[in-house]
Amino acid sequence: MTDPSLLIVILNYRTAELTLRAAAEALADSRDMRAEIVIVDNDSRDGSLGAISAAISRRGWDADNRVRLIDAGRNGGFGAGNNVGIRAGLSDGSRADFVYLLNSDAWPEPGTIRTLLDFMQDRPTVGMAGSAVRGEDGVDHQTAFRFPSIAGEFESCARIGPISRLLARHIVALPCYETATRVDWVAGASLMMRMDMLDRIGLFDETFFLYFEETELCRRAARAGWECWYLPAGRVIHIGSVSTGMKNWARVPTYWFDSRQHYFIKVHGRTYWMAATLAHVGGSLLFRLRQFISRRKVDDPPHFLRDLVVHSARNLTRSSGSEVRLAPRFLEDRQ
């Protein structure tokens, strides 16, 4: 069987050294494949473009166009940046059979890319496949999920055993399965996609700046009849939150709330979004009551519940979630 062509897209935003490491690992893991790597710089403006370009030339990666660098020209977010790479296609102008998205702060263990590619090539109904992900500390990350729902919002916020058991079929975060499992959606840190599927359903919705974009793409794929799988046999090591700075957030940024709103409205409508928000608030208040009674600390991000309520109230009068223009701003900047 002839190997299909593969385009590996790595999105860089101010993580030049990590991006080069990810590219090196991906290059080594795809050496025996018909594969090319395209690195997209998402308007880093920190010298990344020059540093990566020089490294590609110095290491000889530009031979036979195995690794290319593209300047996105703007920072449109995760989906928009990856779309730039996907649209670029292969160096000869042809369309790849498969696209593999790899985070700049992630690197595949040997055989991971082949595992994902072979699995999808053998199963023509599979449109997406995500690998298992673990941190540098060896701890597995949850990367397989159910689609968000009203019940799922309430369960995830209430965090009470009896409620979680009652709503078990709606829990969003799935366990780290030991065998290949069909799921609703997988994280975009290590994600293989079939170009035939993308040709039919379209690329990432660029209204999302960050978060929920792969969830919505997987939802669109599912509605078109494509399957999504989680493959524990393929593994990547992921540092996580390097580009986004999530670990150092003082408060959850506005674009997270915008993305959540846009997802629910686009997929289910405004009424569902409002109901999901009420479920989120209700579950959070129930959890806080329990913590108050037991004199335990609430470990949610600072001001998160207040920010969610304020954001939702400000957007109730918008006629369409698609009118939201997502940008990397923080709620406190608006106040």
What one-character-per-residue DSSP string does 268-308 give?
H-HHHHHHHHHHHHHHHHHHHHHHHHTT----SPTTHHHHH
CA distances from 90 to 35, 100, 130 (A): 9, 13, 22
% of the chain exceeding 90 in pLDDT: 85
- In three-state form (DSSP H/G/I as H, E/B as E, the rest C), the secondary structure along 214-239 is HHHHHHHHHHCCCEEEEEEEEEEEEC
CATH architecture of 5-147+184-241: Alpha-Beta Complex (3.90)
Mean pLDDT for 81-101 is: 97
Residue 300: the pLDDT is 85
Range of lowest pLDDT (98-107, 240-249, 274-283): 240-249
Q: How far apart are the first and last CA of the chain?
A: 60
A 10 A CB-CB count for 124 gives: 11
Residue 69 to residue 10: CA distance in whole angstroms = 10
Please answer whether residues 102 and 24 qualify as being in contact, where contact means their C-beta atoms are separated by less than 8 angstroms.
no
For residue range 25-52, list pLDDT tens digits in order: 999 999 999 999 999 999 999 999 999 9
Burial 284-311 (b: 16+ CB within 10 A, else e): bebbeeeeeeeeeeeeeeeebbebbeeb
DSSP secondary structure, 185-210, as one string:
EE-TTEEEEEHHHHHHH-S--TT-SS
Residue 318: the pLDDT is 65
Residue 249: the pLDDT is 57
Residue 320: the pLDDT is 45
Which residue matches tokens 């989680």?
230
For residue range 139-173, list pLDDT tens digits in order: 999 999 999 999 999 999 999 999 999 999 999 99
For residue range 168-203, list pLDDT tens digits in order: 999 999 999 999 999 999 999 999 999 999 999 999
Instruction: List every span in the chain annotated with CATH 3.90.550.10.
Output: 5-147+184-241
Mean pLDDT for 237-247 is: 64
Residue 332 to residue 307: CA distance in whole angstroms = 9
Pairing of strands 34-41, 5-12: parallel
Residue 128 to residue 197: CA distance in whole angstroms = 9
Residue 246: the pLDDT is 54
Residue 330: the pLDDT is 32
Q: Per-residue confidence at 335, pLDDT binned at 50, 70, 90?
A: very low
Q: Is the pLDDT of residue 229 over 90?
A: yes
For residue range 260-310, list pLDDT tens digits in order: 999 999 999 999 999 999 999 999 999 999 999 998 888 888 899 999 999
Residue 248: the pLDDT is 52
Residue 64: the pLDDT is 87
Q: Is the pLDDT of residue 331 over 90?
A: no
Which residues on adjacent β-strands are paired with residue 8?
37, 100
Q: Is the pLDDT of residue 245 over 80?
A: no
Residue 192 to residue 61: CA distance in whole angstroms = 22
Mean pLDDT of the residues in the chain = 91
